[in-house]
């Protein structure tokens, strides 16, 4: 449960004039790739990436608490989520300076039951109509005032919905569908009303087949995405062993396909290319490409790309991703595969574990060592265009792009805002 009102803390409340108007005009249009564990973004713009004359520079840094939740830039502010000393902290920072505007805290254990485990939340804050929504690793869903950080409502998912966290904790962010927020909770998701947190529909009860002797749920670790399927607008999400299409109005399952990654780690956000969906996994699982609605054999399946939880990127007829587990460290490779048959077009050996986003046909990559690397997405071969160290510690979370700013966080809790040149 959350603590009593008098024990909750709001720090440094400030109000800004003309909230977000100028910032919103400046912003480049972008769409979400993955808002969950190690989330990223795809940028659609005509900007040119050129680091030959000037390299990216760190504009400011801030401490946001340990974890893996990405940040959400919105209307001149940056919303962050972390954990420090068994206390979850939702922070609102000034996008220009990194100054703390407010912070909401509540008790939450940094570690769960997993062995091994890592401290802190995984799910990225979601902002909609002056409200910020967060989901803790143990299942506390909060709605806060975006301007002040005051609590609007909260929902205890294990207690009130009956869904336990998965082995490594709840990790995905929601998909907004009309007045509903659809969360990756349970085998088929959870829909709550954004206004008051009322549950509209939930997944049917299902026991974990992966962790039979552990008190855990069946949720996957990805974020729901919209899908057009046979003339219907559906949502896609994962549980511990499947990729599922669901009716957003009722939560009814429409179609599913197997995604049986060892330990139930369905964490690499699937890539969609027309009617083709590409599912990848670590621990030796590999990648399989299937056609939507097709129950037969996959289009192709191999172990030539084994993405632990790093994002995948599709450019033209090719797929880009990091091959290897986080534990493999420097042995991981950056690979390019043909979408048609899954064969390797090229591989950059000993690239190291990393996460990435796609922007203007460039891979914007942050390595586990905190290097920012710019690579042209070229099926002919590896084309690195720039590399600079931007953060210390260890980084598993994908960078977050907003206009000419790039946000990078490490798992220890440092966040840096990087100013990009040549844009």
Residue 132: which pLDDT band, with cuts at 50, 70 and 90? very high
Q: Count H helices, E strands: the chain?
A: 1, 35
* H-run or E-run covering 80: strand 77-83
Q: pLDDT (tens digit, 9 = 90+) per residue, 309-323? A: 999 999 999 999 999
> CA nearest 169: which of 102, 246, 111?
111
The helix/strand/coil state of 314 is strand
Instruction: Flag whether pLDDT at 364 surpasses 90.
Output: yes
- CATH superfamily to which 5-17+30-419 belongs: YVTN repeat-like/Quinoprotein amine dehydrogenase (2.130.10.10)
Q: pLDDT (tens digit, 9 = 90+) per residue, 44-79? A: 443 458 888 889 999 999 999 999 999 999 999 999
* Average pLDDT of the residues in 173-192: 97
Residue 422: which pLDDT band, with cuts at 50, 70 and 90? low
Return the beta strands (E) in 55-158 as ranges: 57-63, 72-74, 77-83, 87-94, 100-107, 126-128, 131-135, 140-145, 151-156
What is the reported pTM?
Answer: 0.89
Asked whether 61 and 416 are in contact (CB, 8 A), the reply is yes
Q: pLDDT (tens digit, 9 = 90+) per residue, 228-253? A: 999 999 999 999 999 999 999 999 99
Instruction: Flag whether pLDDT at 120 surpasses 80.
Output: yes
Instruction: Flag whether pLDDT at 174 surpasses 70.
Output: yes
* H-run or E-run covering 26: helix 21-26
CA atoms within 13 A on the CB side of 45: 20
Residue 29: which pLDDT band, with cuts at 50, 70 and 90? very low
* Average pLDDT of the residues in 380-409: 96
Q: What is the pLDDT of residue 49?
A: 80
Instruction: Flag whether pLDDT at 25 surpasses 70.
Output: no
Q: What CA–CA distance (Å, rounded) separates 139 from 108?
A: 10
Q: pLDDT (tens digit, 9 = 90+) per residue, 260-306? A: 999 999 999 999 999 999 999 999 999 999 999 999 999 999 999 99
Pairing verdict, β 313-315 and 300-302: unpaired
Q: What are phi and psi of 382, to 5 degrees?
A: -70, 125
* Average pLDDT of the residues in 171-178: 96
Q: Count CB neighbours of 14 within 10 A.
A: 12
State the Cα torsion 259-354-32-27 to the nearest 10°. Answer: 180
What mean pLDDT value characterizes the chain? Answer: 90
Q: How much of the chain, in percent, has pLDDT values that exceed 90?
A: 85
């Amino acid at each position: 449960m959350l603590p009593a009102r008098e024990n909750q803390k709001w720090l440094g409340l400030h109000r800004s004039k003309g909230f977000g108007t100028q910032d919103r005009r400046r912003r480049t249009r972008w769409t979400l790739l993955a808002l969950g564990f190690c989330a990223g973004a795809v940028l659609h713009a005509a900007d040119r990436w050129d680091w030959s004359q000037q390299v990216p520079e760190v504009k400011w840094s801030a401490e946001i608490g340990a974890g893996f939740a990405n940040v959400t830039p919105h209307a001149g502010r940056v919303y962050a989520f972390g954990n420090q000393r068994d206390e979850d902290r939702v922070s609102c920072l000034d996008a220009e300076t990194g100054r703390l505007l407010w912070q909401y805290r509540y008790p939450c254990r940094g570690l769960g039951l997993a062995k091994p485990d890592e401290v802190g939340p995984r799910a990225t804050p979601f902002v909609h109509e002056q409200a910020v929504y967060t989901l803790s690793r143990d299942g506390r869903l909060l709605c806060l005032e975006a301007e002040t950080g005051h609590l609007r409502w909260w929902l205890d998912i294990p207690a009130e919905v009956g869904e336990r966290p998965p082995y490594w904790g709840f990790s995905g962010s929601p998909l907004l569908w009309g007045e509903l927020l659809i969360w990756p909770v349970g085998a088929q998701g959870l829909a709550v009303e954004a206004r008051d947190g009322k549950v509209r529909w939930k997944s049917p009860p299902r026991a974990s087949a992966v962790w039979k002797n552990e008190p855990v749920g069946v949720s996957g670790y990805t974020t729901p995405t919209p899908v057009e399927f046979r003339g219907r607008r559906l949502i896609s999400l994962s549980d511990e062993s499947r990729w599922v299409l669901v009716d957003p109005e009722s939560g009814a399952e429409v179609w599913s396909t197997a995604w049986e990654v060892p330990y139930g780690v369905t964490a690499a956000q699937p890539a969609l290319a027309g009617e083709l969906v590409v599912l990848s996994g670590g621990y030796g699982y590999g990648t399989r490409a299937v056609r939507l609605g097709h129950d037969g054999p996959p289009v192709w399946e191999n172990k030539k790309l084994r993405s632990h939880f790093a994002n995948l990127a599709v450019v033209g007829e090719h797929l880009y991703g990091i091959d290897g587990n986080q534990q493999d460290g420097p042995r991981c490779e950056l690979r390019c595969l043909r979408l048609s048959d899954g064969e390797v077009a090229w591989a950059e050996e000993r690239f190291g574990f990393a996460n990435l986003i796609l922007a203007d046909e460039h891979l914007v990559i942050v390595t586990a060592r905190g290097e920012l690397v710019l690579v042209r997405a070229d099926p002919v071969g590896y084309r690195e265009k720039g590399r600079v160290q931007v953060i210390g510690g260890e980084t598993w979370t994908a960078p977050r792009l907003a206009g000419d700013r790039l946000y990078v966080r490490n798992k220890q809790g440092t966040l840096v805002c990087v100013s990009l040149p040549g844009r």
